[in-house]
Amino acid sequence: MSTGFLTIDLDAIVANWRNLDAKTRGETAATVKADAYGLGVDHVAPALARAGVRQFFVAIAEEGVALRRILGPGPQIHVFSGHMQGDAEMIGAADLIPMINSIDQMIRHAEALPGHPSGIQLDTGMNRLGMEPAEWQGVREIVLAQGPALIMSHLACADTPEHPMNAAQLASFREMTEDTGAPLSLANTGAMLMGPEFDFDLARPGIGLYGGRPFTEANPVVTLDIPVIQCRDLEPGETVGYGNTFTATRPTRIATVAAGYADGIFRIMGPHTSLWAGSTACPVAGRISMDLIGVNITDLGQDPDHLQILGPDQGIDVLANNAGSIGYEILTSLGARYTRRYVGG
């Protein structure tokens, strides 16, 4: 067997949720869109529900349907994309709460599912999703008369607490939601770390649950061990991999491991990334291929069975840095070929 082993610590996810929940005065939901950031919503969501999470957020109605099958009746499932054409049956049957983003969506929802709960998403400056202030002003009274399940907005710069955009969006959200009497939600992970004024009634963290920045105190959640297929000796002057980008300058031992860019190990990471044998870092040698990576194990003094690319010494944010990316993208790119092992929960 030559698949990598991806170990996902459900107890760490639950501990991260509890630690984030302790920081807010309101309730704490869980954002589990994109298969719980690639970690497997069928394992992650039940573990969080058992820990006491009562509200979940997904990106699209299809994810909501899958999540309802996993969780059964009870927990609230909110859909960020709102009510799109063709969603009515899913929203109705799976008892989803669409976050209505526009007057068009509002009309569609009222016509297809009269009386079915919905929330409202407001745009406070990110210009991605939600009703703009003037649009909201026009329908505010009609919406409020129906008692929306939630009114929410999203911050563009919550990973940069000092950015003036945060205060501007907070002021805009306050102004747009003043005297609505509806439950309010503004905070993702980053906003939960910025202070109580961002709390409102419901926080909806994602990345912090899964061990990523900006929740730097998070417990690490994933480890990834990759089997070594073959080891070989190189004479000085010999090269490794496509394009000959690594040349041995001394007698060198190279391990070839069974993962590559098709498994989410981006090519661009290569020059900055090591694989680990215990506490020894073994640098990537040459280009990362689709299914294989050369690793310089000369200084290890022995041939390992496995090498670790995600673990205590090199977490998702280090790998992200090596790739000029963010932890979110590392997690959601983790490949389908790994053998997944879930711990705890």
Ligand X SMILES: *Cc1c(COP(=O)(O)O)cnc(C)c1O
Give the binding site for ligand X (CB under 6 A): 31, 33, 80, 154, 188-190, 204-208
Q: Rounded to 5, what percent of the chain is helix, strand, coil?
A: 35, 25, 45
Nearest residue (CB) to ligand X, 189 versus 296:
189
**Cβ neighbours for 158, distance < 8 A, ≥ 6 positions apart:** 166, 187, 188, 189, 190, 191, 194, 214
Residue type for position 194: M
Our answer to whether residue 33 is catalytic in this structure is yes
Least gap, CB of 150 to ligand X (angstroms) = 12
Least gap, CB of 188 to ligand X (angstroms) = 3
**Cβ neighbours for 114, distance < 8 A, ≥ 6 positions apart:** none
Nearest residue (CB) to ligand X, 298 versus 321:
321
Which of 319, 221, 247, 234 has its CA nearest to residue 276? Answer: 319
* Packing angle, helices 41-50 and 61-71, rounded to 10: 60
**Interior angle at CA 109, CA 104 and CA 115, nearest 5:** 140
Given a contact cutoff of 8 angstroms between Cβ atoms, the answer to whether 193 and 160 are in contact is no
Nearest residue (CB) to ligand X, 80 versus 342:
80
Residue nearest to ligand X (CB): 206
Least gap, CB of 211 to ligand X (angstroms) = 11
Least gap, CB of 327 to ligand X (angstroms) = 9
Least gap, CB of 128 to ligand X (angstroms) = 8
Given a contact cutoff of 8 angstroms between Cβ atoms, the answer to whether 245 and 228 are in contact is no
Nearest residue (CB) to ligand X, 128 versus 232:
128
Which of 259, 265, 249 has its CA nearest to residue 298? Answer: 249
Given a contact cutoff of 8 angstroms between Cβ atoms, the answer to whether 240 and 295 are in contact is no
Our answer to whether residue 210 is catalytic in this structure is no
Exactly one of 23, 37, 210, 242 is catalytic; name it: 242
Tell me how far CA of residue 272 lies from CA of 104, 205, 261, 314, in angstroms. Answer: 48, 30, 15, 11
Nearest residue (CB) to ligand X, 24 versus 31:
31
Residues 64, 85: Cα–Cα separation, whole Å: 15
Exactly one of 23, 33, 261, 328 is catalytic; name it: 33
Least gap, CB of 54 to ligand X (angstroms) = 17
Nearest residue (CB) to ligand X, 101 versus 308:
101
Which residues are part of the catalytic machinery? 33, 242
